[in-house]
Amino acid sequence: MEGLLLRQMREEDLEEVYKINASSFTTDAWSMDAFKREFRLPYSRRFVMERNGKVVAYVIYWVIKEEATVMTFAVRTDLRGKGIGKRLLMESIKLLRGEAGKVVLDVRKSNIRAIRLYKRLGFEVVCERERFYSDGESALLMSLSVDKIDGGHGNKGTEALLAD
Ligand SMILES: CC(C)(COP(=O)(O)OP(=O)(O)OC[C@H]1O[C@@H](n2cnc3c(N)ncnc32)[C@H](O)[C@@H]1OP(=O)(O)O)[C@@H](O)C(=O)NCCC(=O)NCCS
């Protein structure tokens, strides 16, 4: 998809980010306060994908001791299945290369679409965490070495990587 722009998340993006999050997660949605808190955490890294000036996807990582954990990640409901999620993860992981050697995440076992995306990027299942979520569902812990993310590909269509 053309016209995508990856950039740092700003506080004024939060209204849109909150909406995408709320429509993406039923039991695990974040409060607005939780999003605002991220801007005060020194280990929080936040990115959005913009299209035609509108935020269409976001991801937040915590980088601690060279390990980046995906805390929340979603694409706007009506724009899924077009490669935006994959592009956002791939490009943002590249930006974390200098400070993280590994990316980890937990994903619901039933979230086939997300699991497929992670596997396509090279993530591997480390283990299953039984009854990880409050509703009793188990999680898969997945992990990726950042040097597995290809530096030369996947950049097409991303117009700029801003570091403001
Ligand atoms: C998971 C999510 C972020 C994926 O974003 P997306 O932009 O739709 O994903 P992409 O279009 O980049 O697709 C990536 C891969 O997912 C798979 N995929 C895409 N659409 C799919 C569909 N309709 N059904 C099954 N798999 C699909 C494909 O394997 C695709 O890779 P490929 O086409 O190169 O083989 C998005 O579905 C979402 O926001 N879900 C709700 C929130 C969520 O579950 N977040 C992750 C929590 S761990």
Is the per-residue pLDDT at 162 higher than 80? no
Is the per-residue pLDDT at 71 higher than 60? yes
Supply φ then ψ for residue 115, to 5 degrees: -60, -40
Atom 31 in ligand 1: residue holding the nearest Cα: 117
| Closest by CA position to 88, among listed 69, 60, 109 | 60
Residue 151: pLDDT band with limits 50, 70, 90: low
Q: What pLDDT, on a 0 to 100 scale, did the predictor assign at position 26?
A: 86
User: Could you tell me if the CB of 48 is within 6 A of ligand 1?
Assistant: no
What digits encode the pLDDT tens for the residues 20-52?
999 999 888 999 999 999 999 999 999 999 999
Q: What DSSP designation does 23 have?
A: H
Residue from 86, 106, 133 whose mutation best tests the ligand 1 pocket (most atoms within 8 A of CB): 86
Is pTM beyond 0.85? Reply is yes
User: Could you tell me if the CB of 114 is within 6 A of ligand 1?
Assistant: yes
Is the per-residue pLDDT at 133 higher than 70? yes
What digits encode the pLDDT tens for the residues 89-127?
999 999 999 999 999 999 999 999 999 999 999 999 999
User: Could you tell me if the CB of 82 is within 6 A of ligand 1?
Assistant: yes
User: Could you tell me if the CB of 83 is within 6 A of ligand 1?
Assistant: yes
User: Looking up tokens 């995408």, which residue turns up?
Assistant: 20
Number of other residues whose CB lies within 10 A of the CB of residue 81: 8
Domain ranges of the chain: 4-161
User: Could you tell me if the CB of 117 is within 6 A of ligand 1?
Assistant: yes
Index of the ligand 1 atom closest to the CA of residue 105: 48
- Tell me the C-alpha distance between 43 and 120, whole Å: 27
CATH code of 4-161, in short, is: 3.40.630.30
